[in-house]
Amino acid sequence: GQRMRNQKIHTTYPNDINRLNAPFLTMFESLIPPNEEKVKQKQLLTVLEKLVSKEYPEARLFLYGSCANSFGFSKSDIDVCLAMELQNVDKSDILLKLADIFESNNLQNVQALTRARVPIVKLMDPVTGISCDICINNVLAVVNTKLLRDYAQIDERLRQLVFIVKHWAKSRQVNETYHGTLSSYAYVLMCIHFLQQRRPAILPCLQGMETTYFANVDNVECAYFDQVEKLHNYGSRNGESIAQLVWAFFHYWAYCHDYANDVISVRTGRTLSKRAKDWTRRVGNDRHLICIEDPFEVSHDLGRVVDKFSIRVLREEFERAAQIMHCDSNPCVTLFEPY
């Protein structure tokens, strides 16, 4: 079907916006994984640790991605990173070796994808029913997972907003990087940036504060303030409700973001200019049509997967969502209608 386009732009919330708080919160609650699921994930990690350490005693396993950043839906797969020294050994050989080990220990659907952009072993554990991807030495992903989880602990509205935005993006098929739309990781950064920009701010800029956490990963320095328990009142001067924030989030991406000139940057807590980052023209396949700076790998634009077709799809979906939040009689249904 046709994605709709509508030109009317509103500048502030409709006055009955808060009727949407209860249904949005109910939706959020229904998407959170129950505690049993978290227990099963830990259980599987322990099983994998035992199997891996028999062959590689010095290797360590870490959870990353949505199972560890607090933005994971119920029934998601888990992402695992195996950290180990590689001296003149090929990653592919290790992945194949791991696949062997898992297969002979009753794990199902074991597959080594050695030629993928991020090479992994996939498997399914028949005991817990959980599927899992294991990569090697993707330590930056473990560190950016911690950053996201730390942000989530500062103000509960971040987690609520991300769940609603992710649910919207999955329903509307704009969470598919292989089709030129954005990763969940990119959507989380968009939500953090958005809450850093509210006035009064709902989130601080952790990388702009005193360093209490430091890691040097593949020559990238990761430093920020991680004592977030000291910040749990940070956003309390801003009383905006979840319904108001969902309205404003879509309004921002539909009508306020300067796609031609701006880069959103969680690292600095503000927007930067594309010119300053030299992201003004296409280089190879990177087109920079929507610019989202990675908080640690600052030369990495998470919008680089977006092309001239998918940018239209994305912007029309933001406009559709903004219109629905403003005028629709039942946004909690219409917003998430499958595309």
Residues that bind Mg ion (CB under 5 A): 65-66
Nearer Cβ to ligand CTP (146/326): 146
Residue number, nearest CB to Mg ion: 65
How many angstroms separate the CA atoms of 34 and 151, rounded? 21
* In the complex, minimum distance from the CB of residue 79 to Mg ion, in angstroms, rounded to a whole number: 5
Contact set with ligand CTP (CB under 6 A): 64-66, 69, 71-73, 76, 79, 141, 144-145, 183-185, 302
* In the complex, minimum distance from the CB of residue 297 to ligand CTP, in angstroms, rounded to a whole number: 8
127 and 110 in contact (C-beta within 8 Å)? no
Nearer Cβ to ligand CTP (9/283): 283
Query: How far from the centroid of its chain's Cα atoms is residue 227's Cα?
Result: 21
Burial annotation 105-142 (CB, 10 A radius, 16+ → b, else e): eebeebebbbeeeebbbbbbbeebebbbbbbbbbbbbb
How many degrees, rounded to 5, is the angle at CA 251 between CA 246 and CA 255? 165
| Strand-strand pairing, 262-265 and 270-273 | antiparallel
**Type of residue numbered 245:** L
User: What does 302 interact with, of ligand CTP, Mg ion, none (CB < 5 to 8 A by kind)?
Assistant: ligand CTP
User: What does 183 interact with, of ligand CTP, Mg ion, none (CB < 5 to 8 A by kind)?
Assistant: ligand CTP
* In the complex, minimum distance from the CB of residue 5 to ligand CTP, in angstroms, rounded to a whole number: 27
Token readout for 47 is 């099983």
User: What does 71 interact with, of Mg ion, ligand CTP, none (CB < 5 to 8 A by kind)?
Assistant: ligand CTP
Query: What percent of the residues of the chain are helix, what percent strand, and what percent coil, each to the nearest 5?
Result: 45, 15, 40
How many angstroms separate the CA atoms of 128 and 133, rounded? 15
User: What does 160 interact with, of Mg ion, ligand CTP, none (CB < 5 to 8 A by kind)?
Assistant: none
Nearer Cβ to ligand CTP (71/247): 71
Nearer Cβ to ligand CTP (41/184): 184
Nearer Cβ to Mg ion (71/168): 71
Nearer Cβ to ligand CTP (77/328): 77
